[in-house]
Structure 1
Amino acid sequence: MSFTSPDPVSPNIDDGTNPRKRQRTACDRCKGRKQKCDNAYPQCSNCAKAGKECNKPLDTEIMSNSYTRALEDQVAHLEKRLMAMEQQQPRQSQTQANPRSARQTAHESVGARSNSDTNDGQHSFASPAYNQTGFALFVLNMVYSIGALNLRLTDQSYRDTPPEQFYLSAMQHVASVREASPIDNLQALVLLILYHLRSESRNGLWHLTGLAMRTVTDIGLHREASTRNLPPLETQLRRRLFWSVYALESILAGALGRPISLSDCDIDQPLPLSVNDSDRMREPNTSFMSHGSTPGQEANPTTNLSQFILLSQLRTFEARIQRTIYRVDRTTSALQPKMHRLISELDAWRQNIPSSLQSSEHERLMLHYHRDVRLLLQPFLAMLEPNSDLFRRCVDAAGQICQIHKRFHQTPEYGHSFVAVHTVFVSGITLLYALWRGKSNIWSFGISNDIRAASCVLAIMGERAPWIRRFRDEFDALTEATMAALQNASSEPGVETRLRDEMPAYDFSVFDGLEITDAAALDMVRELSQWFQS
């Protein structure tokens, strides 16, 4: 199923909505004290007067529609995979989850609240203590499923518990997730997104990410006011949570060519402080209070959170590129002046990377920097001169992406996500497109080596995940056609006709609807196909 097209079984939050006005639900504290709640944002008046945290229940209509249908689709897919694996490798395990019971439990649990008015008690929820235990079991199994999935991607000899089994076990406790606090619910959504970023069952991933962002706005986590009266530790943890969700949506939107939910002007939640987790565990609150208020300006700016903070800053640049350059109400030529300002901002970010970072952290940051440079400059390749500095910067950024990914794959612990597949694939296409535009002016040993690196990385990924092999095969065929066309263009007139006849045929219609390939990449492929056929 194409990931870029709407998923027929993915949630649609407009389905089945009631036109009558929704009842506003009291916050958790007012509900427990049986007080009238005015539902003011970000805190109701009662909680504000008491100086207490104000937790508001999530919109259950969104949860019952979006959450239920997305998870049902995932569980159905995983059941089929797990049963197929069991048939190939019968295993004796007392802890093995029953796929049928897991599906039934997930279906009933997710829909329990929305059906509470009509059921006969079969979906009744247990005590809060049980729900807390159920939520902990959900988190535990999701962490195991993500870890097992990463091990399977990095170690072909992995034969332990399948990640799908842990996932189905987590689904048995999804009712407790829905009954948890909005913050806990959001953390559960992040775990689901992280799992599906690396799994083959990616249907509904964009909808889960959208649900997470709607939850963020529903509880006001994007606003500083939502954390103003909280203890320092809780404030920092919530800031980390918000920027994690924001980063996930940003990188998915860039890969899929889709708009981002929140603009810069909607967000005033600061970045978290750069504090080592070891310090936080020793002194939960005083470690935060002892640091400066501006992220990145602390006494010890290099911590185990430094990379996260720098990447979060880069995600805001990425969102700005998406809104400024990838807009449909302006021509590309009209947007060219904005390109120079954005590239200057990206370069300023690069200059601020601390030199004390570990080499692996620095290289990962540079990968995302080059990714954003390519994202910014690629739409202008058709109008830039091949010998211009910006044209060559785009080509160099695409080449660096391929080379860094190649180095990453030389280490056994690197496990790729579908976003990495998209990044390498589109970077390789950018290199081939640049060759077509510049021909002999662009050709060099370096660009040839970069193209080989892209092909090599896709081949390695394809060995670990069969669904990637289509990208590998199509990129290799596209590379072969490009090289043949370049040879054809540089040949003498008599030889040119013979080479054109011998050129391998390539059907470019296979790229139409190609999974996770954005419109800009497809435009480059179509222009290449016209060149080959001319």
Structure 2
Amino acid sequence: MSDEEASIQVSGLDGAESAAGSTPVRRRRGLKRSSAACHRCRQRKQKCDGKHPSCEPCLAAGVTCIPSERLVVRSDPCCECEQLRDQVQALRSENERLRHQLDCPVDSFQPEFISTPVLEVPLEDPAPPLTPSSSRRETQTNSEEHVAYSGRILLPTFRRRNTGDGVNTSFLTSPWHLWHGLNAEAGATPGVSLPSYLADTGEFAELFFARRWPQFPVLHKPTFMKDVYGPFITGEICNGLTKFQANFVLAIGASEKSRTGPGEVAVHDHFFEAAIQHLGAVLASDDVSCIQSLLLLCIYGSNEPERVDLWYTVGLALRLALGIDMHRQETTPCGSFVQEEMRKRLFWSIYTMDRSISIAMGRPTGLQDVDITAALPLCLSDDQLLQPRETAVPSVLPSPDDLSTFLHIIRLRRINAEIYTALHAAGNAPVEGTDPTRYHYLAMLNGWLAAAPRYIGPTSMHQTAEWQQIAYHQAVLTLFRPSFVSPVVSVDGMRLCADSAISLVSCYHSLYAKNKVSYTFVALVSLFMAAITILYVLRASPLLRQELTREVTQSNVASCAAALRRISGGRSVGERSAQIVERLGKSILALFETTETVDEEVDTEFMSWFGLRCQQPSVESQTTPSVDVAWIDLLDEGFDLRNNFYSDAFI
């Protein structure tokens, strides 16, 4: 090669290097058209723009565009398998733990609290959130929400005590004997979904706010429907607290629907089983949200006392409320109008629930009225709470949507508590001249009944005139029945008891005819006690027995038994109560077949023996009164023929 050719070659190489240094570095070319094209375009060997979700040729042809396999990002199947294996192992461990707990006896069953930390309310923020949306814990993880809870809350309310340790069970009132040995009705199988024709739950939510909300306004309906029920029903991501409240509102609403027969699907059981899966998350939430949820649990438990320990759960809610000073007006935090009113509604709901359950179970109330300075909530509807404070004015006429029913119930529970403290407290000693005290409270009850709100279209049983009469007559029975202060009642007081008991039974028949009656254990106990009172008065007063005929008494007994069977909706406890009344009725009817002279208006021997034998040492040594053989056998052998009934519990 000549020198000239070599110089040309070297100069050309230098020029190429200089050109390469002046131009940017070229990247790797993208996918070829054949690789980036969709499946249809590759087969047809045509251009493809690679757009997603459909390229232009496929969109024009109206066919499904299948992208190239090289553009599809697939997850590692082994990773998913590992997650599923971990879930299976966790479920097996949980199954073993639950099986171990089922093997333990009920008496040694102790509550197990979840291991997640409880959210503390900071001291500088004394006003905890009151609306369901603001009270939910945003930081709660899925593992925390599904921690199972097992403890006293889900034990039966009226489980029988262990009598081997010498406990005097005669102090237990009638509910313990009525529900003794009765388990919860056959419920839903956990994990089984609702039938398709029951999937529409909107009706159940409306039933809750129409029938049970007037008695216990523990939720703000607009907030609940928007922030809790809406996300829950649409399948959005919800925490355990949201699922618990939504499921229990649906469970209570479903339980309000009348059963058509024993074989009907118990829809409320499905919601109950789904709700209690998140009870651990409820106990780990803030105080106010926990109180709301526990009250929902108590409302459901009043229908199903075999599933919820009402005494323990109400006491827990009351202690939480006292812990954040809900009962003191001086410590009310300055928040929004909705928060302030909901705080008052929540406290007074606990108050009425505590009074109702305590009196029905024959136990002292959890909080004295003298310790309460909290103001009553305003008589406003939920929609009015969304208005500015200045424009929210209570209506002149009561409405089913406002708090007129709830405020009237609060006044009644206050009178009930005063009567219980004055006459039925265990520490009271017998005194003479209790008639002025009784008639003072009777005047208060008459004023309460006269001031009862009237509604054109009541939506709840507690808004009907019949229920107001029932509540009035039940208070009269408590006022004039034998007590620690006055073991022997005059014939006038017994006549008032008999009249009120007969009127109470008639009101329940009227509610049943209008399809307005709602089953609760408190309602069943009040009806049962009214029937027992009628028979007790006829046995204790020969004078009142002469004022009636055998046919009228037989009709009253049949009416009481029919009312007990109807209000219980086919439950076993209703049939047991009816059989008790029928057996007592037969013993009373036998007294009409004998001719007797009325020496005294009241049989003081029988009255001092029945109902107070085990509660007063001076009476315990008395012998059985000389009455007919049928009545003696009934008291000695017990109602269920297994010596499980104690006559002292019923009066």
User: Considering the TM-score relative to the shorter chain, is it more than 0.5?
Assistant: yes
**Is this contact kept in 2: 1:187–1:241, CA < 8 A?**
yes
Cα distance 1:509–1:94, how it changes in 2: closer, same or farther (>3 A)? same
Candidates 450, 455, 464, aligned match of 2:561: 455
**Who is 1:338 aligned against?**
437
Q: Is residue 409 of structure 2 the alignment partner of residue 319 of structure 1?
A: no
SS at match of 1:444: coil
Distance across 2 between alignment mates of 1:301 and 1:262 = 29
Shift of 1:343: 1.9
Distance across 1 between alignment mates of 2:375 and 2:280 = 32
AA aligned to 1:506 is: L
AA aligned to 1:510 is: G
For residues 307-386 of structure 1, the aligned pairs below 5 Å read: 307-334=405-432, 336=434, 337-354=436-453, 361-379=464-482, 383-386=488-491
Cα distance 1:142–1:425, how it changes in 2: closer, same or farther (>3 A)? same
Cα distance 1:344–1:500, how it changes in 2: closer, same or farther (>3 A)? closer
Distance across 2 between alignment mates of 1:462 and 1:185 = 30
**Is this contact kept in 1: 2:558–2:582, CA < 8 A?**
no
SS at match of 1:333: coil
**Who is 1:8 aligned against?**
107
**Over residues 166-196 of structure 1, what are the superposed CA-to-partner deviations in whole Å (9 max), with x where a residue is unaligned?**
1111122223312322111101001111111
Q: Is residue 282 of structure 2 the alignment partner of residue 177 of structure 1?
A: yes
AA aligned to 1:149 is: S
Candidates 482, 485, 505, aligned match of 1:402: 505
**Is this contact kept in 2: 1:367–1:404, CA < 8 A?**
yes
Shift of 1:416: 0.9
SS at match of 1:464: coil
**Is this contact kept in 1: 2:240–2:281, CA < 8 A?**
yes
**Who is 1:474 aligned against?**
580
Q: Is residue 249 of structure 2 the alignment partner of residue 143 of structure 1?
A: yes
**Is this contact kept in 2: 1:154–1:415, CA < 8 A?**
no
Q: Is residue 322 of structure 2 the alignment partner of residue 217 of structure 1?
A: yes
**How many corresponding residue pairs?**
426
Distance across 1 between alignment mates of 2:433 and 2:640 = 27
Candidates 66, 70, 81, aligned match of 2:152: 70
Larger deviation: 434-443 or 230-239?
434-443
Distance across 2 between alignment mates of 1:253 and 1:133 = 33
Shift of 1:287: 4.9
SS at match of 2:594: helix
Q: Is residue 524 of structure 2 the alignment partner of residue 421 of structure 1?
A: yes
**Over residues 377-417 of structure 1, what are the superposed CA-to-partner deviations in whole Å (9 max), with x where a residue is unaligned?**
1126863332x2x3322221111111111111223352311
Candidates 616, 634, 638, aligned match of 1:506: 634
Q: Is residue 593 of structure 2 the alignment partner of residue 487 of structure 1?
A: yes
Distance across 1 between alignment mates of 2:109 and 2:352 = 22
Distance across 1 between alignment mates of 2:197 and 2:447 = 56
**Over residues 436-487 of structure 1, what are the superposed CA-to-partner deviations in whole Å (9 max), with x where a residue is unaligned?**
2323435337766544332211122455212321111111100111111232
Shift of 1:500: 6.2
**Who is 1:306 aligned against?**
404
For residues 38-437 of structure 1, the aligned pairs below 5 Å read: 44=123, 46-47=124-125, 68-71=150-153, 73=155, 81-83=187-189, 133-151=239-257, 153-156=258-261, 159-160=264-265, 162-199=267-304, 201-202=306-307, 204-280=309-385, 283=387, 285-288=389-392, 290-291=393-394, 299-302=396-399, 304=401, 305-334=403-432, 336=434, 337-354=436-453, 361-379=464-482, 383-386=488-491, 388=492, 390-437=493-540
**Over residues 413-436 of structure 1, what are the superposed CA-to-partner deviations in whole Å (9 max), with x where a residue is unaligned?**
523111111111111111111112
Cα distance 1:355–1:174, how it changes in 2: closer, same or farther (>3 A)? closer
SS at match of 2:424: coil
AA aligned to 2:382 is: D
Query: TM-score, normalising length from structure 2?
Result: 0.57
Shift of 1:85: 13
AA aligned to 1:398 is: A
SS at match of 1:409: helix
Cα distance 1:503–1:240, how it changes in 2: closer, same or farther (>3 A)? closer
Query: TM-score, normalising length from structure 1?
Result: 0.68
Distance across 1 between alignment mates of 2:328 and 2:511 = 37
Shift of 1:257: 0.3
Distance across 2 between alignment mates of 1:452 and 1:79 = 26
Cα distance 1:500–1:171, how it changes in 2: closer, same or farther (>3 A)? closer
Larger Rg: 2
Taking only aligned residues, the RMSD between alpha carbons, in angstroms, comes to 4.2
SS at match of 1:468: helix
Q: Name stretches of at least 5 consecutive residues in structure 2 with no aligned partner.
A: 1-105, 136-148, 157-182, 200-235, 598-626
Cα distance 1:315–1:84, how it changes in 2: closer, same or farther (>3 A)? same
**Is this contact kept in 2: 1:377–1:391, CA < 8 A?**
yes
Distance across 2 between alignment mates of 1:516 and 1:273 = 48
Cα distance 1:353–1:520, how it changes in 2: closer, same or farther (>3 A)? farther
Cα distance 1:516–1:374, how it changes in 2: closer, same or farther (>3 A)? farther
AA aligned to 1:137 is: K
Q: Identity rate of aligned residues, in percent?
A: 21
For residues 12-27 of structure 1, the aligned pairs below 5 Å read: none
Distance across 2 between alignment mates of 1:133 and 1:477 = 52
**Over residues 200-246 of structure 1, what are the superposed CA-to-partner deviations in whole Å (9 max), with x where a residue is unaligned?**
52452211111111111111111223435232221211211111111
SS at match of 1:506: helix
Distance across 1 between alignment mates of 2:276 and 2:119 = 28
**Is this contact kept in 1: 2:482–2:489, CA < 8 A?**
no
SS at match of 1:480: helix
**Over residues 130-163 of structure 1, what are the superposed CA-to-partner deviations in whole Å (9 max), with x where a residue is unaligned?**
9963211111111122222232x54327744632
